[in-house]
Amino acid sequence: MRISKWLAPMLLAASSLLGTAQAYPDKTITLIVPFPPGGSTDSLARAIAPKLQERLGQSVVVDNKPGATGTIGAAQVARAPADGHTVLVASLGPFVIVPHLLKSVPYDALKDLDLLSVAVQAPNVLVVPAASPWKSAGDAVAAMKAAPNKHTFASSGNGSSDHLTVEVFWQQTGTSGTHVPYKGGAPAISDLLGGQVDASFQNVNAVLQHIASGKLRALAVTGDKRSAVLPNVPTLAEAGIRNVNVYSWQGIAVPRGLPADTKAKLHAAIVAALNDPAVKSKFTDIGIEVVANTPAQAVAFQQQEHARWKTVIETGKITAD
């Protein structure tokens, strides 16, 4: 049977469109990390990249684009074509914190980026030097009530997860202290170990070895349950301090407008990579929990976190300066 002259081009076009839809990915996928190499977010990207490459059949590279508290890299992804070949791997900062800290952010975190999944999360832990007289979170609260603004809390920088955790802690306990921001977690932990500062809320994975060696004392974790790697350390809620559930988390996002089939394929590959036994154990062994939730769950969580940190930042009059 002969195909009519007008039907043949239509079938050819339909075939071409179908082939395009099935082709993703058809070039290298770039994971943009908006921070320098070596940190937790960079480690996440480099852990999943080989697994994504195996599953998707294309090269996957990690490209570090640090600067402006993560907004340079995030903005680059927001401006990229929505085709699944440019992916943002970032901490909560560019998604829910920095938009409230900076006067001008070159993207709208809720409108220009589409969060595919909260990949991993870890509670923070209230730690003090081994020589500290504080044996519990209650001791810390009592000391600060007795001497407002006297005690120092180190953080990895203004607007960081550890900084905002102490702000929530102060707001919920009616206490106050002195925030000492550092340029990164390493120098903050170094001065904490040396006793130059009184305390800090650090990511569990960042101080686990120092807790294990006895150089730091863990008073409480900020999760809604005890950490699997610190089973003897109570939560703040168990210590009688409510509404300070805080997790440091990393998410994976794409430019808004990704085709549904591409989005589903990429998300499935991300979940598989995160749940790969070899990858998962790298995180769980140091107290980081794999979340790997759905896009709908991730977006709902982002909206909740966005509103929460907006309130905390405005109440505490916090700036990124």
pLDDT of 76: 98
Task: Tell me the pLDDT tens digit for each residue of 44-78.
Answer: 999 999 999 999 999 999 999 998 889 999 999 99
- Going by pLDDT thresholds of 50, 70 and 90, the confidence category of residue 11 is low
pLDDT of 223: 95
pLDDT of 321: 62
Task: Tell me the pLDDT tens digit for each residue of 215-274.
Answer: 999 999 999 999 999 999 999 999 999 999 999 999 999 999 999 999 999 999 999 999
Q: Which of 69, 58, 63, 57 is nearest to 45 (CA)?
A: 63
Q: What is the 3-state secondary structure (H, E, C) of 139-192?
A: HHHHHHHHCCCCCEEEECCCCCHHHHHHHHHHHHHCCCCEEEECCCHHHHHHHH
Q: What is the pTM of this model?
A: 0.88
| Extents of the domains making up the chain | 27-121+248-316, 122-221
pLDDT of 19: 44
Whole-angstrom Cα distance, residue 155 to residue 163?
Answer: 5
Residue type for position 201: F
**Is the predicted pLDDT of residue 16 greater than 80, yes or no?**
no
What is the three-class DSSP state of 321? Answer: coil
**Is the predicted pLDDT of residue 14 greater than 70, yes or no?**
no
CB neighbourhood size of 314 (10 A): 10
Q: Which residues of 208-242 are buried (b: 16+ CB within 10 A; e: fewer)?
A: bebbeeebbbbbbbbbeebbebbeebbbbbebebe
Mean pLDDT of 149-168: 92
Mean pLDDT of 128-152: 98
**Cβ pair 84, 25 in contact under 8 A:** yes
pLDDT of 18: 46
Same fold, 27-121+248-316 and 122-221: yes
DSSP 93: I
Task: Of 102-106, 181-185, 187-191, 204-208, give the lowest mean pLDDT range.
Answer: 181-185
Q: Which CATH class is domain 122-221?
A: alpha beta
Adjacent-strand bridge partners of 117: 252
CATH no. of 27-121+248-316: 3.40.190.150
pLDDT of 12: 54
Task: Tell me the pLDDT tens digit for each residue of 180-202.
Answer: 999 888 899 999 999 999 999 99
173 Cβ neighbours under 8 A, 6+ residues apart: 141, 144, 241
CB neighbourhood size of 102 (10 A): 16
Whole-angstrom Cα distance, residue 210 to residue 309?
Answer: 29
